[in-house]
Amino acid sequence: MTLDIPRIQARVAELLAEYAIPSAAIGVLHDGELTEFAVGVKNVETREPATTDTVYQCGSMTKTWTALAFMQLVDEGKVGLDEPVRTYLPGFAVADPEASAKVTPRHLLYHTNGIEEAYGDPGEDEDVYARMVENIADAPQVFPPGHTHGYSAALGYALLARILEVHDGAHWDDIMRHRLFEPMGLTSTNSWHEQVNEARAATGHLIRSLEEGPLVTPVRYLPRAFGPGGNLTSTSREVLAMAHVFLNKGTAPNGKRIVSAESIQEMLNSRVPVPDPHMFGPAWALGLIVCDWQGETVYATDGSTVGQNARLRILPDSDTALALLTNGGPRETFSHAVFNEILTDLGMVTVPDLPAPDTTLNLDLSRYEGVYGRPGARYEVSAEAGKLYLTLFLDPMQAAFLHKPDRIRYELLPVSETHFLMPPADPLEDTQTVALYDFTNGSAQYLHTNCRVHPRQR
């Protein structure tokens, strides 16, 4: 099978217009052959076209790169995945003494460490990750280590980066260049926005309405605290160079060994379950999401910044990887539509649809009612006339900028006793999924959505 690039480009252009996303850069690595193209504009104000050399912010896809660098330390015998973090960072401590002693690198890679992201303001200097370690001495536990899965946007991978810094005696940005970018022959991938050639950079965009269209984001970059978990910029070609490492037992396209074949197997096969399996996948590996596409195991790594988004899907059984970088969104239905155009051309399995609600379920809705949240996030689940609803509380400044109310109400449609569909309340949204689970005390103790976990508050 070969790709009909003109047809796919035309279809992507239609989808960009439909979703009000300014541009997309797409790469396909199939049986060792690379195909790439770009559609749209880098910036809606300048109208400069996006090209295959345009660099996009990769957001949390950065975590997979950080995981690869960390696995090099494992290969070198310098760290163990199941040794306590304080073995390598003697000053590591959080509010819970047991967690301080028990949290391991594997917990951090899995997002099962349970530490609240209470790292304060560590600044924008190169010592930011050392400061984050210092600042979490009073950080509480969202859940006990290993108890469940709860995504750590910045802190978990900052701790892994700090272990790398202490071992290598260098700052994280230099470590990534020396351990990964230079050996892999990458010239367009950077870990800090000051390293990026602005002439090649896509600009992020937000959208408040389809009528208004995309707006240049007022926040150009994430804070430096997100570095190891979210600050890489790259091209679709060089994102696929990282995918090549997973498809080829640890070697880069230039033949350089990046990590051992054993470490790649560990990264792919060591897993924990995800409470909400429907939106992304049922399990989390070491730096990767594990998906089940109609029986085929697919690995995913995604990322979003303020106005830019990155998606990568790796299909080892089919020797294929798909990369999608955009400067608008995120909309999962957009990425699924783009991927399915490519996968259909290749005669491969496509992205599965979300499950349908189960209308035969007779749930005790009182078990789910309550307030769930963490700092900066609040959800209220309530029952009314035999139906379950979720109210999302938005930050007032965010709501004002997006022209949204500060409370948005959604109906929850049960798929099972613990999983729900949440249909959109706005044409700019997709259907989301929610898990309400752990009935240890008779009522659900956690709400899990978009990979984030929120414990019951009352």
C-alpha to C-alpha distance for 65 and 183, rounded to whole angstroms: 13
Catalytic residue among 60, 188, 263, 335: 60
DSSP string, 254-301: TS-B-S-HHHHHHHHH--EE-SS-SSS-SEE-SSSEEEEETTEEEEEE
Q: Name the DSSP class of 89.
A: -
User: Which helix or strand (DSSP H or E) is residue 396 part of?
Assistant: helix 396-402
**Known active-site residue 60:** yes
Give strand pairing partners of 438: none
Query: What are the tokens at 457?
Result: 């508050």
What angle, 0 to 180 degrees and rounded to 10, lies between the N-to-C axes of helices 62-75 and 155-168? 40
- As a whole number of angstroms, the distance between CA 177 and CA 189 comes to 9
Structure tokens at 233: 């910029």
Residue 62 exposed, middle or buried by CB count within 10 Å (0-12, 13-18, 19+): buried
Q: Which of 389, 384, 373 lies closest to 445, judged by CA?
A: 373
E strands, 41-80, where? 56-59
Question: What is the separation, in whole angstroms, between the first and last Cα of the chain?
Answer: 55
| 154 beta partners | none
Residue 159: C-alpha distances to residues 80, 97, 163, 333, 374 (Å): 14, 17, 6, 33, 21
Q: Is 42 helix (H, G, I), strand (E, B) or coil?
A: coil
Q: Residue 197: in which H helix or E strand, if any?
A: none
- Cα gap 318→299, rounded to integer Å: 12
Which amino acids are annotated catalytic? Answer: 60
